[in-house]
Structure 1
Amino acid sequence: MKRIITCSDGTWNKPGKKDRGTEVKTNVLKMYECICHEGKNAVKQVKIYDEGVGTGYTLKDRILGGATGAGIDKNIRDIYEFIMLNYEPGDEIYLFGFSRGAYTARSIAGFIRNCGILKKENIHLVDKAYLFYRDRNDYTYPDSDLMKSFRATYCVEDITPIYFLGVWDTVGALGIPLPWYKIANLNRYKFHDVKLSSFVKHAYHALAIDEKRALFSPTLWEKSKTVLEDENHPQKLEQRWFAGVHSNIGGGYADCYLSNLCLQWLIDKAEDAGLCYNEPPHIKLADCDKGELRSSYSWPYWFWLPKWRKIDINDPISNQTIDESVWERYKDKSRKYSPPNLKDYAATAERGSLSIARNKASEATADKHLQP
């Protein structure tokens, strides 16, 4: 057995990126760099880092990739081919991603569920398999006769589980700021698997409370019917809200206190699942108070009215939680941190039983209840 780890970055993100004159790294790149090549008991860990779309050398690539998401199909196929060329039955697959890279990671999970993992000698069928997934219909959904036959004939096994899926702030429309492009490509780039497949064992999603760009509405997972109807199902799903805007969650700012907390959360979850690291960063909860909340509401997003995200930690289908650091910031009146979506939720929550989720950064893992 070995672990196969893929790390898919967001738009315009790659090594060497700068913010305010300082070279910065996203959480995806930091995660990739701290994963070791061999874990406990000599378990091999193979990994790949995939730059975000819009990181090409030409101005055309940077503009089209950033504005329309051009290139994301190639990113998905590249990651799939990496998995295909390394996978053997029994291996554990870990998928990480931020922003459009989160879309990539989640699409890979859906792609594998739909089409399986091709045998190495069938690499010439990758494009055909991807079309089956991307243009899914009544004949090409995962349990259709056609796809069952396809997997039985060309793939290493019928069902390949995804062991771990960890993402930072997925946006369903890819954050595309061109309404005509969004409408024209709605079917092409929609999620086929908003409902999390029961074949994903661990799934964790870090979400931005303060992101208010309407085109960056988050795409949360929903538990599948299979999981909902089986109280003993082993799948673990958590979608946790953190203070900050999109890149405060996934990284890419010179001030990385807030994003480091989100990184530490997923590092801890993946480590609990078995992933091994060289020297992962260890974040102190107190450091998060230093984090700057940046504004992401800039041109060309001025053309749309702001839209605050809805928080609903009482929804059993999505299993949302709020990180302890959020309430520490909220309770400190000197910080003047009171986003409408959080304030509205706090006002309607039952008095004295507002649940928060503690982070290992505070040297505790249990849930507790605080009065905001």
Structure 2
Amino acid sequence: MSDTSAEPKPLILLGDGSWCGREADTKSNIYLLAEMIGIDMKMITDTDVHVMDDKAWYIHGVGLGTQDIAMQCIAAYKFIVDHYSYPDHQIWMFGLSRGAFMVRSVASMINNCGIVNRIMNSDGTVNDVKTDLLCHLVYRIYRSDDPINRPRLPQSVQFRRRASWPLIGDEEPGAPTLLPPVKFLGLLDTVGSLGIPDFIGGVGLDWPQFHDQKVLSVVELVYHAVSLHDDLYVFPPCLAERNPHPGKPKEFGITQYWFPGVHYDLGRQRFRFLRMFGGGRLKCLLARWNWASKVIQPNEVVSDLMLK
């Protein structure tokens, strides 16, 4: 562990919105932010992820369903696990739409289980398979409806003390308060409080909602940009709020701005609802109607304003 007086190094995660990145060949504000940070977005990879050494991680906005978002939350959390140490690092996360859902979920995973240590082999090397399984377990604990898995109950506290780096809120009585592991959470819109909708045959839309809708103590600062004119009922905004904290203002550490325009104006999303290519039969069939689908263009003035 290094000198605690040194400035923590940033670990940066960026999650793009649906139909952003390589799937629609659109450069959203999250994509541009990744380029500004220095991630090589032109490099062709066999995954949906671009990584800048041990500094930054970006994922394209592919997929729409709950299974996609679950795997993306686990992958984002695993990047943190692979590179985080306390007090050497603080985490900066940015997300658009479903990407905002992802980074908020990752913050909740940290609140629930902390940032687990990698599992080591007897020869001192990392056991990546077991570490990956542990990250899957963290996600399952976070999504669990069993009250025993709530963050402040004894089982969760014991899990963090046994498996994770020190976490704010777990200090012994009289010990100094630890730094929040997440320095900054930047949210460009956020899907509704019910979360990412999933279509279930015979049922319709089902929402696997946020398990923690409040901004948690593991997050120090939040910036939330919200679109003023978005009326899509499936995705009402889930505004960032905190639980009451003695001696602090109600929404301490939260900055919220409402921008004119709609969802895709904030994110700089350019897309077609029916695209040229598809993998399954339904996608291929819909792709034949591509000519009937106009390209949705963002208001560049609002998009530029978002990055100022």
**TM-score, shorter chain, exceeding 0.5:** yes
Say whether 1:117 aligns with 2:136.
no
Preserved contact between residue 28 and residue 96 of structure 1 (Cα < 8 Å): yes
Match of 2:31 in 1: 29
| Residue deviations 1:145-200 (CA, integer Å, cap 9, x gap) | 111111111112233531100011101244638483533xx3xx211222211331
| Residue deviations 1:42-75 (CA, integer Å, cap 9, x gap) | xx97101111232xxxxxxxxxxx3x34310000
One-letter amino acid of the structure 1 residue matched with residue 81 of structure 2:
M
Taking structure 1 as reference, are residues 231 and 174 closer, same or farther at Cα in structure 2, changes over 3 Å only? closer
Unaligned runs of 5+ residues in structure 2 are: 1-7, 40-52, 120-129, 169-179, 271-296
Match of 1:141 in 2: 150
- Secondary structure of the residue aligned to 1:238 is strand
CA distance in 1, matches of 2:185, 2:59: 16
Match of 1:170 in 2: 190
Q: For the aligned residues, what is the CA RMSD?
A: 2.4
Say whether 1:209 aligns with 2:228.
yes
CA distance in 2, matches of 1:80, 1:181: 30
Runs of 4+ in 1 over 6 A off after TM superposition: none
Match of 2:166 in 1: 157
Select the residue among 257, 263, 266 that pairs with 1:249.
266
CA distance in 1, matches of 2:75, 2:54: 18
- Secondary structure of the residue aligned to 2:22 is coil
One-letter amino acid of the structure 2 residue matched with residue 7 of structure 1:
L
**Is the deviation greater in 208-217 or in 173-182?**
173-182
- TM superposition shift of 1:223: 1.9
Match of 2:279 in 1: none
| Residue deviations 1:296-354 (CA, integer Å, cap 9, x gap) | xxxxxxxxxxxxxxxxxxxxxxxxxxxxxxxxxxxxxxxxxxxxxxxxxxxxxxxxxxx
- TM superposition shift of 1:35: 1.2
One-letter amino acid of the structure 2 residue matched with residue 8 of structure 1:
G
Match of 2:247 in 1: 230
- TM superposition shift of 1:263: 2.4
| Larger RCO (alpha carbons 8 Å, 6+ apart) | 2
One-letter amino acid of the structure 2 residue matched with residue 257 of structure 1:
V
**Is the deviation greater in 114-123 or in 104-113?**
114-123
- Secondary structure of the residue aligned to 2:184 is strand
- Secondary structure of the residue aligned to 1:196 is coil
- Secondary structure of the residue aligned to 1:212 is coil
Equivalence map 1:89-104=2 (5 Å): 89-90=86-87, 91-104=89-102
- Secondary structure of the residue aligned to 1:120 is coil
Match of 2:205 in 1: 182
CA distance in 2, matches of 1:233, 1:198: 13
Taking structure 1 as reference, are residues 69 and 199 closer, same or farther at Cα in structure 2, changes over 3 Å only? closer
Preserved contact between residue 200 and residue 235 of structure 1 (Cα < 8 Å): no
Match of 2:62 in 1: 53
Equivalence map 1:194-205=2 (5 Å): 194-205=213-224
- TM superposition shift of 1:234: 10
CA distance in 2, matches of 1:136, 1:259: 38
Taking structure 1 as reference, are residues 161 and 235 closer, same or farther at Cα in structure 2, changes over 3 Å only? farther
| Residue deviations 1:204-229 (CA, integer Å, cap 9, x gap) | 11101111011111101222112xx3
Unaligned runs of 5+ residues in structure 1 are: 19-23, 38-43, 55-65, 265-372
Match of 1:239 in 2: 256
- Secondary structure of the residue aligned to 1:258 is helix
CA distance in 2, matches of 1:111, 1:79: 11
- Secondary structure of the residue aligned to 2:34 is helix
The total of aligned residue pairs comes to 235
- Secondary structure of the residue aligned to 2:307 is helix
Match of 1:360 in 2: none
CA distance in 1, matches of 2:251, 2:69: 32
CA distance in 1, matches of 2:140, 2:66: 18
Larger relative helix fraction: 1
